[in-house]
């Protein structure tokens, strides 16, 4: 159930996370925005409040255990419960051939994209288990399934997040806690434009060529909008999706079909 829920969305300060916060608020949830960037969260907070819902912005580094702990404590102090967790915070990591990647780059990608969801779930699951209800949505990527040139650390984290999702779903189903992943395709916006620029530089092609090539991977010849991801996240938290768990759902305009 989304209405009257308390939702925590990591990386909610901008991009897909901001769209998810706004959509959950439209569906009646109060929203906690947990992001590294204190300034960016203010705009999301305004968007949630504009929907008539309560919003709390908490500066959080999902890769740091103490930061995650203090965020969860703060949410419980303010709202007393957590019904929905969306693990959305993620970083692109390096774009380089595998043998040129530094250990620090590899570790940073793992720390945010995999350790972050682990820390968030580890802190919030006891609260959900006590209540006998929870909805967890992990934002993976089609790159966890379909290779993307020179992005080994990112791909490893996003496929890893699918394994994490399935195994956790198995563990917590008996508590009415559902765990699903969404695998977005290329979502239009500043982040993907940066990725296109990096790909263009790495392969010596123009930005327009890289973008057109990506669009052509969709049978619809288009990118995905961030609101498409938000509506599937809201659906997975709704009563209609009560018997959907352990799934990884592509929202990719058909770019990936498995």
Ligand X SMILES: NC(=O)c1ccc[n+]([C@@H]2O[C@H](COP(=O)([O-])OP(=O)(O)OC[C@H]3O[C@@H](n4cnc5c(N)ncnc54)[C@H](O)[C@@H]3O)[C@@H](O)[C@H]2O)c1
Active site residues: 154
Instruction: Kindly state whether residue 179 participates in binding ligand X, applying the rule CB under 6 A.
Output: no
Closest CB 243 distance from ligand X, rounded Å: 25
Instruction: Kindly state whether residue 184 participates in binding ligand X, applying the rule CB under 6 A.
Output: yes
Closest CB 186 distance from ligand X, rounded Å: 5
CA distance 233 to 239: 12
100 to each of 32, 94, 105, 196, how far by Cα in Å? Answer: 38, 10, 10, 20
Q: Give the binding range for ligand X (CB under 6 A) out of 23-31, 46-54, 60-68, 96-104.
A: 60-68
Instruction: Kindly state whether residue 117 participates in binding ligand X, applying the rule CB under 6 A.
Output: no
Instruction: Kindly state whether residue 139 participates in binding ligand X, applying the rule CB under 6 A.
Output: yes
67 to each of 70, 72, 110, 123, how far by Cα in Å? Answer: 5, 9, 17, 11
138 to each of 99, 116, 162, 230, how far by Cα in Å? Answer: 29, 11, 8, 12
Among 9, 17, 155, 248, binds ligand X (CB under 6 A): 17
Provide the mask over 142-161, with x wherever binding to ligand X is found by CB under 6 A and - wherever it is not.
--------------------
Among 2, 8, 16, 148, binds ligand X (CB under 6 A): 16
Restricted to residues 64-93, the positions that interact with ligand X (CB under 6 A) are: 88-91
Instruction: Kindly state whether residue 62 participates in binding ligand X, applying the rule CB under 6 A.
Output: yes
Phi first, then psi, for residue 137 (nearest 5°) are: -125, 120
Restricted to residues 188-227, the positions that interact with ligand X (CB under 6 A) are: 191-192
- Kindly provide the residue ranges of all beta strands, DSSP E only, lying in the chain, ordered along the sequence: 6-10, 30-35, 55-59, 84-87, 134-139, 177-184, 248-251
Query: What letters, b where the CB count within 10 A reaches 16 and e where it falls short, cover 49-60?
Result: eebebebbbbeb
Contact footprint for ligand X (CB under 6 A) = 10-11, 13-17, 35-37, 40, 60-63, 88-91, 112, 116, 139, 141, 184, 186-187, 191-192
């Amino acid at each position: 159930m989304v209405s009257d829920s308390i939702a925590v969305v990591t990386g909610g300060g901008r991009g897909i996370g901001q769209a998810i916060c706004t959509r959950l608020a439209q569906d009646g949830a109060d929203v906690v925005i947990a992001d590294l960037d204190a300034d960016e969260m203010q705009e999301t907070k305004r968007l949630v409040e504009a929907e008539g819902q309560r919003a709390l912005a908490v500066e959080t580094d999902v890769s740091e255990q103490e930061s995650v702990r203090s965020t969860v404590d703060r949410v419980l102090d303010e709202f007393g419960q957590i019904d929905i967790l969306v693990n959305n915070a993620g970083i692109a990591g390096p774009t380089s051939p595998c043998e040129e990647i530094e250990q620090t780059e590899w570790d940073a990608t793992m720390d945010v994209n995999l350790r972050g969801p682990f820390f968030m779930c580890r802190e919030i699951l006891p609260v959900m288990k006590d209540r006998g209800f929870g909805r967890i949505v992990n934002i993976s990527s089609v790159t966890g399934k379909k290779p993307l040139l020179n992005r080994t650390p990112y791909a490893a984290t996003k496929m890893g997040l699918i394994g994490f999702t399935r195994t956790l779903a198995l563990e917590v189903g008996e508590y009415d806690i559902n765990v699903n992943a969404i695998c977005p395709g290329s979502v239009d916006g500043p982040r993907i434009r940066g990725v296109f620029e990096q790909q263009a530089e790495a392969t010596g092609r123009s930005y327009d060529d890289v973008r057109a090539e990506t669009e052509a991977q969709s049978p619809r010849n288009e990118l995905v909008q961030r609101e498409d991801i938000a509506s599937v996240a809201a659906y997975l938290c709704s009563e209609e999706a009560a018997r959907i768990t352990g799934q990884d759902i592509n929202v990719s305009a058909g770019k990936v079909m498995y």
